[in-house]
Structure 1
């Protein structure tokens, strides 16, 4: 478990706790559960929506801890300014990760698919929620193994990141290789997330 504390935001949205899950076995069932929870009415619906009240992110499109942190920060900022483009702060994280303003595309690309085996699960909430509690809530819905976030470097699909951000012919990365290329790509995509609200 890991987390980002944002003390300048209101307490109910001042902490983002997250974990990198690998070897996930129930992505298809989880997607079905998320979709079903949105349609349920009454107390049962509220209970089910609370159980899956996370951002479920396809880990292969995240380039670094800062990339993730920037998207979370921008989503919480949009929430506090009453300017969400999506219905919830967790789906807003996916929106900010996507380089375009197409919400459906953002959910499809950056959300989990039926075949996802590596995912980052994020819970934005009150700083009073102990990490152990957040972890248990995540493990209640995701069947997989929580690993150190440093394992992200084994997961990131740099080719897919370049494709979605249209960087294959970008002069800033075209002649770079290996670690230099990855650093340049990470800087570009993180800056894209940070600037998205300005460019809308």
Structure 2
């Protein structure tokens, strides 16, 4: 019996640290330590910050795959787009443990939870709500994920790149994994 099930690696290359940008792995360490502390104090999950000294997706994926047997989950943090999408996809395909990219999924989950709570407060159902999200169409095109599964036909996302709804997304083209680019 080991503690693996209750241990998460908080992994970054330091290329997209919130508010700081591409500061590199050494400067990102303090932020990753803070994230690890949140796991410990809020969820009782042991978390280890891991800052990798590479910006190349192949090297990043290889390093995380080599470390994975020590962890019950991988939390990808502060990795710049578009590499973050490739890294996440490849690790999810290769590993038998959860791989979560907080910058994508965490933000979407928190915003969706806040929206559902707001609808509950005003007595509306998500299926009949009309919603316009300004400045998010590019993100929706890139990764439809939980937003798309939750979206009734009366939701729209817009940006300079165009407008998406739950049934149409002009300018999207499907990839072999079913996600639009």
Which band: TM-score by shorter chain?
A: under 0.3
Structure having the larger proportion of residues in helix:
1
User: Larger RCO: Structure 1 or Structure 2 (Cα < 8 Å, ≥ 6 residues apart)?
Assistant: 1
- TM-score normalised by length of structure 2: 0.24
- TM-score normalised by length of structure 1: 0.23
Structure having the larger proportion of residues in strand:
2
